[in-house]
Structure 1
Amino acid sequence: MQVDTSSVVHKHKVAPEGKGAAPAWRTRWTGMWSLAAIDARPLLFAFSLCAGAATYFLAPEEPSLLACLGAWIGAGLLLLAARRLVTWSFLYVLMVAGFGVVTGFTAGAVRTRLVDAPVVTEATRPVMLEGWVAGVEPGKKGPRLRLEVHAIQGFAPEDQPRFVRLTHMARLEVAPGRFVRCWAVLRPPPAPVLPGDYDFQRQAYFEQLGAVGYVQGRCRGGTLGAPTGIADRLGISLSTFRRNLAAHVNVAAGERAGGFAAALISGDRSFMAEEDQEALRGSGLAHLLAISGLHMGIVGGLVFFLTQKALVLFEPLALRVPVQKPAAVTALLASLAYLVLSGASVSTQRAFIMSAVVFGAVLFDRAAISMRSFAIAMIAVVLLQPESVMTPGFQMSFAASGALIATYEAWSHRRAGRERVLGPIPFAWASLVMTSVVAAVATAPFALYHFDRLAGLGLIANLLAMPVISFVSAPSAALALLLTPFGLGDVGLRLFGYSLELVLMIAHGCADMAPSKVSLPSAMPGASMALFAVSLALVTTARGAGRVLLCALAVLPAVYLWTESPQLVLHWSASGEVFARTSEGGMKRFDFADGDGLAPLRYSTLEAASCGELPCELETPAGRLELSNEGNCRPLHEAVLQLSLTAPGEACAFNHNWEQVSRVGGLSVWQGKSGMIVQAGAVCRDRPWRQCQS
């Protein structure tokens, strides 16, 4: 029987070798530059959105919203015209990138106006505050209460913040959902004290957190009922349910790992011991505490797998209906339930959007794990929450996801051959090692920029802990959910607790071994971090051998700028603590003065070191520094700088005293190529989330 092939549509035509065939070198060269390809355009638009949003938040002054909207409309019209008129594909791609930058910039400006809410402008005396407990977080000095404000003494209703966060140092006797009355001291959310440090003030603005402070005495329950608004009432009810769930899991999972189990299921970390949290940070397993892509992927993937296998058992249904589609709907609903249950933090919302894109691709018969899905998820997150572009969670999660998908695409092409050579079990372990290495390399630049350190044994800790989380902890939690209707849910939770005890044992073991933390002698500048991000974007966008070349074009200048940047050798923060870089390159913290300001968050986990009796000396890359009770203008043992608690009797550039440092908000000393740079206070630029005092 002959087959008529005249009507067959060939999607990909390949020129035969010989006449008309492109030379091999030209094929390889053009394969390097695939930025103009159709599949690369969503990626290019997504990365351009990120660049535009970041540009907005780094702008020195607030732009006009009308100007932003006008530029966005103009860029859109220009892009539509270019689609018909421009014949050079690379030029069109540049216009797509330009439209993405303008869109991201405008999204940031619009979002800033939408979340605008009152903020406390200066510290208050103790005032009576009434509100509902929306959440409880752990803190070093006591639990932190997030209150939805009802009334504040001395504040007009239109000037009251929507939310405040208070440190409760006394024994806590109120739970989420309860209406409380507290005597509290309020102050504005603190601004960053070092360039590149975490900007809590900006994050608080977008969370509508208008004040922070502490409670004098104890918050006591009031008689007012729930809020009147439907959304507020629902939020308080969910907070109450989450707190009760966390308390139950904390008991049922066992004393040793109950707090860890409660944090993974409900997002409530208040039951977790501080030493366990520190061990997870020191071992590189702190990402387990933030309910994000890993947790959402395990929940959605497990529900999808179980539902699909269950539907296959019904043969009439399996023969007539593509079972993966109802399984995808079920997994999507389960992911949504987990989003609500875990508190819907920014990282969890981002993870849910990515999960929704994946399961949506299954519903519409598209590739679930692909660069296109990755780009759609990034676009959705940036348009909905452009401020998240500046957070380490966004940067590290998308860096790891993009690098893993790019690796997966290359790895899957060779899977059959490698699995045949290695065998299924060794191949699975090789895949696990490759996944851990790729994720560690992709997230390392962002970890170094934001936290100034790496977990030295993070790779080993993840290789040991992740199989436990994926193959023991997740099924145990699912078993607990399945057994709950029969009153046997605590059995699954206890198994869940046993598995997490093993994870904590791994975390403590890796954190205690040297070198558990790797700190570099020079902090990474923002320009280097941006170039590292560009290199990752090029690696995921480009195809062929050009990936390596394009990556090198961005990485080499990033490393050069890093090595040439000034080195922070000392910071005397408004909290009174002194952070000094030793001659060996590591940072040390010294409790020197008594202040109430904010210390650099990147050094918040450092243990206090002893300097000895005052006056004492510190050897730094900039020279010898002196800490003294009384200020004077006579250098001690050739010290180049003196920090004192009291001012000297005469003015001199050699001395910096606590009175002047606390007034300007801190002191930083940098060592550059041309010598020592002393900077008093932090540079402040007026933006909606930061009001500079003249």
Structure 2
Amino acid sequence: MAMTAVAAPSMRPWRRQMGVPQWAVAAGIAVERWLEAERDQLALWLPVMTGGGIALWFALPGPAAWRVALLMLAAVSLAGLAIGHGGRAARALAIGALAAGLGLGLTWLRSDSVARPVLGGPTFATFRARVESIEPLVDRELVRLTLLPDGAGADGQGRPVALPYRIRVNLAEHDVPTPLGRGAIIGLRARLMPPALPAVPGAYDFARVAWFAEIGATGRGFAPVRVIVPSGRGAGIRVTLSQHIESRLTGSAGGIAAALATGDVGAISDADSQAMRRAGLAHLLSVSGLHITAAVAATMLVVMRLLALFPWLARHVRLPLIAAMAGAAAAIGYTLLTGSQVPTIRSCVAALLVLAALAMGREAMTLRLVAAGAMCVMLVRPDSAAGPSFQLSFAAITAIIALHEHPAIRDFFGAHEERRLARVGRGLGSLLLTGLVVEIALMPIAVYHFHKAGVYGAFANIVAIPLTTFVIMPLEALALLLDGVGAGGIVWPLVQLPLDALLWLARRVAAAPGAVRSLPAMPDAAFAAMVTGGLWIAVWRTRWRRLGAIPLAIGAIWALTTPPPDILVTGDGRHVAVRTAAGLALLRDRAGAYMRDTLAENGGVDGEPLLLADQPDARCSRDLCMMDVVAGGRRWRVLATRSMYRVPIADLVAACRAADIVVSERGLPKTCEPRWLRLDRSTLERTGGVALTLRMGRVATVLEPGDRHPWRMPPTLRRSAGRFGHGAGRRVRSWS
């Protein structure tokens, strides 16, 4: 502070010569003093600004905008260096702009490095492929294979078909040949589709996920599946261990136990998986910080106790260092065992940093550790920062550490000389407060990505986390160890009991009235405001941190007051959801479970949607459905086709003229002219899915004009491989 007080006045004459107003000089000095007081926190903004650059790449429409953003960030950085004159604010601005440019550039580089052409359209193909991974989906009686095609395939007439670099195919369990392992070369026939765009605005964007995973097609395989070259590795230790655990336990308990050990959630029933999500316990099913921490802690405890049995080692060797090395090996081994997914890698990196800090005698659990872990992940996989897994994990740990670093919280919940009962009560209070803060921190992220927020998750986690960490996982580890000598059968029934208790808790909490609040798709700007406010509160330490409540409140109010869409139309025009007085109603009676859930979630509805034909205000035949929607102080008439059968042209034209909005999966004649909007096949090919908010006259589309992100307009493969070759490196836009 003394340095600031001396240096700041020396800058005044220069600023006065440059014509800088006195109030600006005073504000600059105040900012310098504030940053001097927060100097230990400035480094924490490095990953924040890097993440901001990553978000900027996803938010801006294409290469031209990305170049402009990079130039502007470079200009801001150079300006900060040029006018800084040693000022901390200017240096922080320059470094922050550089970090944002780094995030944007890394994401652009990552996107270009994984660029692969995708399948141009639906096709049946017979082909050979190498099995890259095997994922049993026990509850759905399917097996998901990730395949690397070996050359081109052939269609039903024997004509060559170019195939993408990587394909994901689902097979029925009884169609999977035995044995089938990773590395095997198989031959099969499959119906393939390009990666799907979001069905409606705000829905899950599998096309983006597939782009960064280099998946160019998905589909369903058919028997017979031939093993051309068998694998010597089998299905892999992960699949083998999951199957072993599932065979020892019944129902979804086996699936949860497998998820805790290997991250494989395929054996959990859809109903129980949904209950875990609604109860706020889904994080237990993803191998992340909780599981890595338990594995490392158990390993260190066992190693310390075993080494302490040898007096010479205890006197001459730093046993905590040896235990930390064993814990690091356990963290890395557990990460490899569970498939090295991004959340697991992130947790492993954090665990290694904690162990390194402990080995050096430093405080381990700090926001600097979180910042270092986030920076490591973003440098390697910048695209992961846009996903819910990254955001939920780092938001949770940031909220926990920021809460317990607060002096008042640290003093109240720290060590006290008191009776055991009071100490237990203080610990339970700390756990409850931590759970509430974490739920509040995660709620905006959950609403933004999943359009739902749990209400009772904090209370459920008070029981679920200790039960999982201190009962289920140790018992499961003991049972697996005893299985090595054939004695695990006496422990597995003990594992079943707490798992059943966990499922009972999830079902009861999920079924409680008001357990889940559903909201429509949140505006990006509202989400950005809440994230900015939350980070501002978590990172700073002086009273200026309270200013973060302003953008946080603005974003929350914005999200809560965003009206749900009145009409949702999928990109193929087949499925339409209309908001009626009774709730959200679907056009087609036979919409699949996934489509019903997608439309309900993005319509801000918790529960099963209704059928439009059953509504009193709808007039539906086998081929057409007409509905009046009251919104924005007026009545809107909506006409939608329900089949591909021909409708007499005169009747169709008359119905179109009487409607404000017409929706159809077919191409409508030009004479079909509604009063406001026509969404037929040709229009939806340009827009993708559509969400209409009639009271505001707003039309949101999946495909925005000018959007040049690569998964929106990916390079596609031509159908004829005989003429154009396999096309693995070709950027072909047509489907011939």
The range that moved more, 158-167 or 470-479, is: 158-167
Cα gap change, 1:662 to 1:101, in 2 (>3 Å): closer
Which SS does the other structure have where 2:219 is aligned? Answer: strand
**Unaligned stretches of 5+ in structure 2?**
4-29, 615-619, 715-732
CA distance in 1, matches of 2:196, 2:271: 26
Alpha-carbon offset, residue 294 of structure 1: 2.1
Other-structure match for 2:25: none
Other-structure match for 1:573: 570
Correspondence 1:676 to 2:673: no
Which SS does the other structure have where 2:111 is aligned? Answer: helix
Other-structure match for 2:87: 88
Map residues 263-662 of structure 1 onto 2, 5 A cutoff: 263-410=259-406, 411-416=409-414, 420=418, 423-520=422-519, 522-547=520-545, 549-562=546-559, 565=562, 567-574=564-571, 576-583=574-581, 589=586, 591=588, 601=598, 603=600, 607-613=608-614, 614=620, 615=625, 617=627, 621=631, 625=638, 629=642, 632=652, 641=661, 643=663, 650-654=671-675, 656=678, 659=681
Other-structure match for 1:23: none
Correspondence 1:164 to 2:167: yes
Other-structure match for 1:37: 38
CA distance in 2, matches of 1:82, 1:367: 37
The range that moved more, 89-98 or 114-123, is: 114-123
The range that moved more, 337-346 or 453-462, is: 453-462
After TM superposition, the score normalised by the length of structure 2 is 0.78
Cα gap change, 1:370 to 1:596, in 2 (>3 Å): closer
Partner AA of 2:167 in structure 1: V
Map residues 146-225 of structure 1 onto 2, 5 A cutoff: 146-153=146-153, 160-169=163-172, 171-174=174-177, 175-177=180-182, 178-215=184-221, 217-218=222-223, 220-225=225-230
The range that moved more, 275-284 or 640-649, is: 640-649
CA distance in 2, matches of 1:493, 1:74: 63
The range that moved more, 407-416 or 302-311, is: 302-311
Map residues 229-240 of structure 1 onto 2, 5 A cutoff: 237=233, 239-240=235-236
Report the count of equivalent residues.
652
Alpha-carbon offset, residue 541 of structure 1: 1.3
CA distance in 2, matches of 1:37, 1:159: 58
CA distance in 2, matches of 1:332, 1:664: 51
The answer (yes or no) to whether the contact 2:292–2:347 under 8 Å persists in 1 is: yes
The answer (yes or no) to whether the contact 1:127–1:185 under 8 Å persists in 2 is: no
Alpha-carbon offset, residue 437 of structure 1: 0.6
Partner AA of 2:543 in structure 1: A
Map residues 40-189 of structure 1 onto 2, 5 A cutoff: 40-62=41-63, 86-132=85-131, 134-136=133-135, 138=137, 142-153=142-153, 160-169=163-172, 171-174=174-177, 175-177=180-182, 178-189=184-195
The answer (yes or no) to whether the contact 1:163–1:210 under 8 Å persists in 2 is: yes
CA distance in 2, matches of 1:73, 1:642: 48
Cα gap change, 1:644 to 1:132, in 2 (>3 Å): closer
**Unaligned stretches of 5+ in structure 1?**
1-10, 14-28, 227-232
The range that moved more, 440-449 or 315-324, is: 315-324
CA distance in 2, matches of 1:596, 1:492: 38
Cα gap change, 1:439 to 1:602, in 2 (>3 Å): farther
The range that moved more, 309-318 or 186-195, is: 309-318
Cα gap change, 1:219 to 1:427, in 2 (>3 Å): farther
Alpha-carbon offset, residue 122 of structure 1: 2.9
The answer (yes or no) to whether the contact 2:571–2:690 under 8 Å persists in 1 is: no
Cα gap change, 1:469 to 1:103, in 2 (>3 Å): same
Cα gap change, 1:219 to 1:300, in 2 (>3 Å): farther
Higher relative contact order (CA 8 A, sep 6+): 2
Other-structure match for 1:3: none
The answer (yes or no) to whether the contact 2:131–2:185 under 8 Å persists in 1 is: yes
Cα gap change, 1:587 to 1:377, in 2 (>3 Å): farther
Other-structure match for 2:724: none
CA distance in 1, matches of 2:353, 2:394: 14
After superposition, the C-alpha distances for 1:389-434 in whole angstroms (9 at most, x for unaligned) are 1101111111111111101212333334777487121112112111
Partner AA of 1:203 in structure 2: V
Cα gap change, 1:389 to 1:400, in 2 (>3 Å): same
Partner AA of 1:40 in structure 2: Q
Partner AA of 1:94 in structure 2: L
After superposition, the C-alpha distances for 1:17-40 in whole angstroms (9 at most, x for unaligned) are xxxxxxxxxxxx999945863421
The answer (yes or no) to whether the contact 1:257–1:498 under 8 Å persists in 2 is: no
The range that moved more, 331-340 or 661-670, is: 661-670
CA distance in 1, matches of 2:235, 2:674: 54
CA distance in 2, matches of 1:307, 1:72: 50
CA distance in 1, matches of 2:532, 2:417: 33
Cα gap change, 1:320 to 1:303, in 2 (>3 Å): same
Cα gap change, 1:633 to 1:304, in 2 (>3 Å): farther
CA distance in 1, matches of 2:100, 2:238: 39
CA distance in 1, matches of 2:243, 2:140: 20
Other-structure match for 1:6: none
Alpha-carbon offset, residue 378 of structure 1: 0.8
Partner AA of 1:119 in structure 2: V
Percent same amino acid among aligned pairs? Answer: 25
The range that moved more, 108-117 or 41-50, is: 108-117
CA distance in 1, matches of 2:240, 2:450: 33
Partner AA of 2:509 in structure 1: C
Partner AA of 1:691 in structure 2: M
Partner AA of 2:291 in structure 1: H
The range that moved more, 490-499 or 328-337, is: 490-499
Alpha-carbon offset, residue 554 of structure 1: 1.5
Partner AA of 2:147 in structure 1: L
Cα gap change, 1:35 to 1:253, in 2 (>3 Å): farther
Cα gap change, 1:478 to 1:74, in 2 (>3 Å): farther
